[in-house]
């Protein structure tokens, strides 16, 4: 395991998260390491149960029992997140890092207006001289996400799905954080609203300079949106690399399978192919590579020996024995 990268806004090292249960633990995130650099969009893709949401919550220490972090490190802006006390955590959360969750309606308090929720967040971190100042600041935040001041005095149930998620993004940006974790923020929205919202996020990233850890099951979306893309499979990081290069020439068989299962929006038509089989049961982990039972190129070694990350190219690694590139090293 290597030290956190200097200058990263988020460093996750060898992170393991388990769900405690009466019949033993279930390991949801298993030895994941990655960095998010200032101002970049790092996308993490994975199917249901791959541990992506658990990872998002773990990064800000928002896991609820029975989930516990059992190994590894999380560093945000130079601070050891797992070692922080309540005071340190309160400083870190929302001023340095914030989060947007998938269900926009669940994330808002149904009995408070948008303004009350924004003002609560602002006041929790900085005193406002008067109500007028807080209201002006809330207005500015809504303007950032493209909502008018008439939204201020509305309740969540009066807003559309897209507007609600805009409010959540405004809440996440309220204290100008360096990192915003977005856990499937657009999954519940239709494609048109999704695109508008993501364009807005990218514009804001350019203007305000925050970094985004973007989590989704939608790999093609990530290739359009993210600077770098990671692919999670059964709690492990299968591949992580620059978006453009990875899209052209994915190194991990799982990434290749995912891309082959999606119709290309441009270029010639080609037959679609699914990935046979289903993800493994996390309660009964397999020895060796977890993708091996579904992998077209699996060899005998894949079923016994856990593949460690290979450097495939500059800033690009894949956890696969069959991946091309440099000889096997245990570098993240």
Partner 1 sequence: MSALAWLARRLGLYAVAAWAALTLGFALPRMVPGDPAAALLARLQGKAGPEAIAALRAALGVSDAPLVEQYGAYLLALTRGDLGVSVSRFPTPVAELIGGALGWTLLLAGVSVAISFVLGSALGLAAAWRGGVLDTVVGPALTLLGAFPYFWLAMGALHVFGFGLGWFPLRHAWDTSVAPAPTLEFGWGVVRHAALPALTLVGASVGGWMLGMRTSARSILATDQVLLARARGLPTARVVSAYVLRNAVLPHLTGFGMALGFVVSGALLTEVVFSYPGEGWLLVQAVRAQDYPLLQGLVLAITLAVLAANALVDVLTLLVDPRTRAA
- Report the distance separating Cα 250 and Cα 85, nearest Å: 41
Within residues 154-173, the interface with partner 1 by CB under 8 A covers 155, 157-158, 171
Which residue, 175 or 295, has its beta carbon nearer to partner 1? 175
124 binds partner 1 (CB under 8 A): yes
Written as six digits, the tokens of 276 are: 């046979």
Q: CB of residue 152 vs partner 1: minimum separation in angstroms?
A: 14
Q: CB of residue 189 vs partner 1: minimum separation in angstroms?
A: 16
Q: Are 226 and 211 in contact (CB under 8 A)?
A: no
Which residue, 47 or 120, has its beta carbon nearer to partner 1? 120
Which residue, 60 or 134, has its beta carbon nearer to partner 1? 60
For residue 68, the surrounding DSSP H or E stretch is: strand 67-76
Q: Are 75 and 8 in contact (CB under 8 A)?
A: yes
54 binds partner 1 (CB under 8 A): no
Site string for partner 1, 85-104 (x = CB under 8 A): -----x--xx---xx-x-x-
Q: CB of residue 62 vs partner 1: minimum separation in angstroms?
A: 6
Written as six digits, the tokens of 57 are: 């919550």
Within residues 174-233, the interface with partner 1 by CB under 8 A covers 174
Q: Which of 111, 191, 265, 300 binds partner 1 (CB under 8 A)?
A: 111
Contacts for 278-286: CB closer than 8 Å, 24+ residues apart: 279/47, 279/49, 279/50, 279/233, 279/234, 280/234, 282/26, 282/27, 282/28, 282/49, 282/234, 282/235, 283/23, 283/24, 283/26, 285/27, 285/30, 285/234
Q: CB of residue 44 vs partner 1: minimum separation in angstroms?
A: 19
Q: CB of residue 265 vs partner 1: minimum separation in angstroms?
A: 32
- Report the distance separating Cα 322 and Cα 312, nearest Å: 11
Q: Are 196 and 250 in contact (CB under 8 A)?
A: no
The residues near 318 (Cβ < 8 Å, ≥ 6 apart) are 238, 239, 240, 241, 251, 252, 255, 309, 310, 312, 325
Q: Which of 85, 110, 274, 314 binds partner 1 (CB under 8 A)?
A: 110
Q: CB of residue 164 vs partner 1: minimum separation in angstroms?
A: 11
Which residues sit at the interface with partner 1, rule CB under 8 A?
A: 60, 62, 64, 90, 93-94, 98-99, 101, 103, 106-113, 116, 120-121, 124-125, 155, 157-158, 171, 174
């Amino acid at each position: 395991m290597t030290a956190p990268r200097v200058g990263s806004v988020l460093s996750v090292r060898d992170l393991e998260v388990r769900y405690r249960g009466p019949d033993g633990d279930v390991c949801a995130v298993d030895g994941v390491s990655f960095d998010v650099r200032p101002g970049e969009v790092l996308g993490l893709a994975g199917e249901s149960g791959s541990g992506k949401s658990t990872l998002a919550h773990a990064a800000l220490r928002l896991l609820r029992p029975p989930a516990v972090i059992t190994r590894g490190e999380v560093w945000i802006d130079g601070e050891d997140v797992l070692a922080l006390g309540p005071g340190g955590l309160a400083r870190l959360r929302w001023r340095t890092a914030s989060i947007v969750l998938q269900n926009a309606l669940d994330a808002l308090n149904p009995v408070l207006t948008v303004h009350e929720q924004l003002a609560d967040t602002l006041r929790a971190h900085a005193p406002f001289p008067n109500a007028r100042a807080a209201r002006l600041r809330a207005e500015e935040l809504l303007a950032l996400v493209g909502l008018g001041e008439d939204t201020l005095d509305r309740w969540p149930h009066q807003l559309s799905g897209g507007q609600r998620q805009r409010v959540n993004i405004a809440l996440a940006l309220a204290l100008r954080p360096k990192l915003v974790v977005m856990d499937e923020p657009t999954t519940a929205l239709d494609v048109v609203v999704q695109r508008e919202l993501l364009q807005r996020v990218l514009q804001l990233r350019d203007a305000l300079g925050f970094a985004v850890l973007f989590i989704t099951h939608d790999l093609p979306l990530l290739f359009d949106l993210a600077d770098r893309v990671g692919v999670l499979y059964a709690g492990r990081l299968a591949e992580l690399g620059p978006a453009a290069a990875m899209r052209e020439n994915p190194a991990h068989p799982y990434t290749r399978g995912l891309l082959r299962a999606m119709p290309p929006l441009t270029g010639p038509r080609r037959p679609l192919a699914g990935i046979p089989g289903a993800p493994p049961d996390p309660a009964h982990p397999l020895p060796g590579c977890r993708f091996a039972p579904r992998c077209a190129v699996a060899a005998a070694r894949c079923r016994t020996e856990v593949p460690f990350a290979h450097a495939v190219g500059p800033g690009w690694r894949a956890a696969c024995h069959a991946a091309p590139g440099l000889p096997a090293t245990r570098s993240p």
